[in-house]
Amino acid sequence: MNYKIVADSSSDVLTLDSVPFASVPLVVRAGEMTFVDDEHCDVAAMTQYMLTYKGKSSTACPGTQDWQDAFGDAENVFCVTITSGLSGSYNAARVAAEEYMSAHPGRRVHVVDTLSAGPELRLVVDKLQELILSGMAFEDIVTEIEKYHRRSFLVFSLQSLHNFVANGRVSPAVGAIVGLLGIRVVGRASEEGTLQPLSKTRGDRKALSEIIRTMKELGWTGGRVRITHNENPAFASALQDALRAIHGKLDVAIDACRGLCSYYAEKGGVLVGFEGA
């Protein structure tokens, strides 16, 4: 039985050690420029461009064909997508899965709608890899991963919701919470897979304690943590240190956001995926 994990690029995962893996890129468009969120995407250059670019910008999810191409000729495929609450990626993957299975009887594709973004996808990908390597049967992995992602969460601190508002993915009223210098919105991915603001704080230090408070509230008791950030490594490592001070033997990783997450998280944004209850 050969297995493949295919995630869209909101996962910020480009390679995987022990199971065949492919990333399907979303794209960021700004005027004449198109940034394809694959391994060639120069994220720092994109961020720089966005700081000076004043026109309209937008994003687009992969199409059905992009997903199908990424399946290759794998017999068992697990797709991991960004939230269907904010993107068409999940729908495209579902259609691709149906077409792939009817074109190749016997092959199986399961699509996980994470109802989230960024490092929560990374958690799901890591867990899938582990389950596949354990030798578990396809349908048991399906059950396990659906159970797993009901107790994985995403919290974040953002300094701007400009691109969310400009693309109609949060209301202008919610967007108006931030925008003032020093203000951060701490929030989570809601159960419906949308951006849910929880509180407004001033400065990274307070945002950090709000994040930890929210993590505990959502049942974090030392489970895996995956952190990503847009040009804010100081916040990410301070958070890592604070979490380690609570649970010494923590399985935690820090990565820079790739293109899609950088665009929406904006400069200074920090995203935290974790195992809760």
Polymer length of the chain: 277
Looking at the DSSP assignment, which residues form a beta bridge with residue 188? Answer: 155, 196
User: Which residue's Cβ has the minimum distance to ligand X90?
Assistant: 87
DSSP string, 48-94: HHHHH--S-EEEEPPPHHHHHHHHTT-SEEEEEES-TTT-SHHHHHH
Q: Does 119 bind ligand X90 (CB under 6 A)?
A: no
Q: Does 123 bind ligand X90 (CB under 6 A)?
A: no
DSSP code for 217 = H
Q: Does 193 bind ligand X90 (CB under 6 A)?
A: yes
Q: Nearest to residue 22, comparing CAs of 32, 12, 8?
A: 8
Taking the complex as a whole, how short is the minimal distance between the CB of residue 57 and ligand X90, in angstroms?
11
Q: Does 152 bind ligand X90 (CB under 6 A)?
A: no
Taking the complex as a whole, how short is the minimal distance between the CB of residue 132 and ligand X90, in angstroms?
26
Name, in order, each residue with C-beta under 8 angstroms of 199's C-beta and a sequence gap of 6 or more.
185, 186, 187, 210
Sole binder of ligand X90 in the list 9, 116, 160, 230 (CB under 6 A)? 116
CB contact burial 11-21 (16+ within 10 A = b; e otherwise): bbbbebeebeb
Asked whether the beta carbons of 155 and 188 are under 8 A apart, the reply is: yes
Q: Nearest to residue 97, comparing CAs of 14, 24, 153?
A: 24
> Which of 118, 223 has the CB closer to ligand X90?
118
Taking the complex as a whole, how short is the minimal distance between the CB of residue 175 and ligand X90, in angstroms?
13
Taking the complex as a whole, how short is the minimal distance between the CB of residue 135 and ligand X90, in angstroms?
33
Sole binder of ligand X90 in the list 122, 169, 224, 258 (CB under 6 A)? 169
245: left (phi over 0), alpha (psi -120 to 50) or beta: alpha
Site mask, ligand X90, residues 75-94, x = CB under 6 A? -------xx--xxxx-----
Q: Nearest to residue 65, comparing CAs of 29, 104, 24, 31?
A: 24
Site mask, ligand X90, residues 11-50, x = CB under 6 A? ---------------x------------------------
Q: Does 63 bind ligand X90 (CB under 6 A)?
A: no
Sole binder of ligand X90 in the list 24, 25, 35, 118 (CB under 6 A)? 118
Sole binder of ligand X90 in the list 6, 109, 265, 270 (CB under 6 A)? 265
Sole binder of ligand X90 in the list 189, 211, 227, 239 (CB under 6 A)? 189
The H or E element spanning position 238 is helix 233-246
Name, in order, each residue with C-beta under 8 angstroms of 267's C-beta and a sequence gap of 6 or more.
47, 51, 159, 160, 230, 231, 232
> Which of 113, 275 has the CB closer to ligand X90?
113
The residues that touch ligand X90, with contacts defined as CB under 6 A, are 10, 26, 59-61, 82-83, 86-89, 116-118, 154, 156, 169, 189, 193-195, 261, 264-265, 271
